[in-house]
Structure 1
Amino acid sequence: MNPEPEFLAQGHDPANPSPWLALYLDRSTPLPDKVKKAWLTDSSCASRQYLLPFLRPLARAFIILIQIIKTFLPRRWSHSRLLHRILAWGLKRFVSPEANWLILRHFHLGAQILSFIAANAPVAITTTPLEPRHIDDLKDELFVKHDLNLFNFVIRLNQALREAGVDLHAPEQLDFSMIRDPALLLEDMPRSRLNFLDLQSAIELFTPLYQLLLTDNDFWRAANSLQLDETIGIYAAKLLGAPQHLILVNNHHPLVPLSTLRAGHRLVLHGLSTEMLHSLLMETKAADEQPA
């Protein structure tokens, strides 16, 4: 069993209210309680409070330094397999159970969202779902494949729409068959004394490594993929006939690429946007299945 986070165990003190308890109890954002609890447990931990403020500027300084170094390296310099082995090793040994669970969930949720769009689009489009069950599954270059899948999906979908002369619209009957809660358990995540690092700190640490061991093209594509949150949100909103859901998209305009210096922070926002969109689809599916 997972222990209750401190902000739930202590309860509410009107003289000293917990901001984490307020965020957990608030229901203005569509997140299931178990996801919100894991997210806020990770966000309220000591490493994020005391370590992240030091790690973030150091990580951004390394991004600048590595960019300078890579001007003298061959253009095709890349060690993707080594990168993914290091990432999997670091996640298993140093990253918190909540963060690891959220990272694995992200692959499943992203695959389901793309499958939902493909199944309900007015054109035929295939997807390549990535659904790792264990951290070691990430060694198969899944982070890079995740970015490739997203761009390939957007290109194939819009090529098919253009050729057919149609646009995305709400179908008469939505297909939610692929939308489900991933069969991933927080209890199965590594849980040792060294598994203390929060999600944001881990991402800030891993981003310079990502930049160093991939080509510039792969790293820029990964950073720019975060700008597609709005694009995917628009696709889903069109199919749902509910443009108000775009309020949850927070990576701004896809045609304005941002600096890679903030890629770590934007990656956290990307993960949260994916969780919220999937939660909305789960809620809509449940409402759709209610008898009339």
Structure 2
Amino acid sequence: MTTANKAGYSAYLRAIANDNSLPIEQAALDLWLKDLQNPLRWSVRPLLQFIFAVLLHLIWLFKRLPLPQFSAHNTLQRLICWFCTHFVSKEANLLILRHYATESNVLNFLAVNSPNVSFNPVQLYPKSIADMQHASFVEHDQELFRLFAELGHWQSPKPPLSPGELNWQHWQSIDMQRFDVAEKRTQWLDFETSHALFMCLFCLLLTREEYRDAINGFNLDQSIAIRIGDLVGDSSLRELAYNKYPHYLVGPWNLGQRFLMHGFFTEHLYAYLQQHKADQKPQNHT
């Protein structure tokens, strides 16, 4: 039985379950549709998001006062992993783990196919919540910035690379069976509500520059889409990016939506490239 035919889905959810206009893997779509069905998302989340949004802006103001800056990366990561283990739903945890893999794949594909570039591949592919102690959220952001610095100025290939020229050396297809996420009775928070709490912790336990960079890193989505579109000869990929214009720095306003759309962007681009890889002949790079 397909997701669209499962009982309990509204007419709109059945519609988007059958809409494949945007690339997305079925596993990710199933997780997201189940997360949308979480009753707390529609009752508790609006209130908590309002409270956490106010708290976030107060912390943001506090961190920007002329006071000595402090950070606590290890404490931040331990708190997030503890919270994920005990209170975040299994579906939301799996979506978080998928995000590491989708973004690592997209960045490595971009780097290995960029012209005349020497780079260190991104190695963030956690398979469990415990793995995120080491493949931390802070490192997730810093790896993005490091890779862009290593890539330097973009030189669009002319013409685009043919399917046989594309290099998939560092690509790791996502196998949901390899994720190890235990389910507890206390895990009831949906993805968006969980993030509303996380963003307050991030703002408090990072320096103001680290946090400012992290919430503006989403805007590199447009640059990633432009570069990969140039590589494969598909300019429509830039339309997948909701977060745009990286030179315009923003604050925490509307952060929850921008974070969520960043997650959708990486899922869309991963699914597009995964299909691109599957369409190639066996003798090409694996």
Q: CA deviation at 1:136?
A: 1.1
Q: Normalized against structure 1, the TM-score is what?
A: 0.88
| Residue of structure 2 in register with 1:258 after alignment | 250
Is residue 2:151 matched to residue 1:154? no
Contact 2:127 2:180 in 1 (8 A): no
Other-structure match for 1:171: 161
* Structure 1 unaligned residues grouped into runs of 5+: none
In structure 2, give the amino acid aligned to 1:76: Q
- CA shift for structure 1 position 44: 2.5
Shift of 1:264: 2.2
2:197 to 198, 202, 205: 205
Change (3 A) 1:68 1:193: same
Return closer, same or farther for 1:129/1:20 CA change in 2, 3 Å cut-off.
Answer: same
Q: Distance in 1 between matches of 2:251 and 2:65?
A: 21
Q: 1:33 aligns with which of 20, 26, 30?
A: 26
The superposition leaves residues 85-126 of structure 1 with CA deviations (integer Å, 9 ceiling, x where unpaired) of 000000111111111111111111111111111111111231
User: Which residue number in structure 2 is paired with residue 78 of structure 1?
Assistant: 71
Q: Given that residues 223 and 263 in structure 1 are in contact (C-alpha distance below 8 angstroms), is that contact kept between their aligned partners in structure 2?
A: yes
Contact kept in structure 2, 1:83 and 1:213, CA below 8 Å: yes
TM-score, normalization by structure 2: 0.90
Query: Does the CA contact (< 8 Å) of 1:80 and 1:213 recur in 2?
Result: yes
Q: Could you tell me which residue of structure 2 aligns to residue 55 of structure 1?
A: 48
Choose which of 224, 237, 245 in structure 2 pairs with 1:232: 224
Q: Give the count of matched residue pairs.
A: 279
Seq. identity, %: 28
1:138 corresponds to 2:128: no
Does residue 67 (structure 1) correspond to residue 57 (structure 2)? The answer is no
Aligned to 1:10: 7
* Contact 1:20–1:44 (8 Å) recurs in 2: no
Contact kept, 8 Å, 1:224 with 1:258, in 2: the verdict is: yes
RMSD between aligned residues: 2.3
**2:100 alignment partner in structure 1:** 107
Amino acid at match of 2:24: L
Structure 2 CA distance, aligned partners of 1:129 and 1:233? 21
Distance 2:197 2:8 in 1: 33
Which whole-Å deviations, capped at 9, do the CAs of 1:119-162 have from their partners, x for residues lacking one?
Answer: 11111231232111211111226111111111111111015x5x
Letter in 2 for 1:157: L
Cα gap change, 1:8/1:190 in structure 2, threshold over 3 Å: closer, same or farther?
Answer: farther
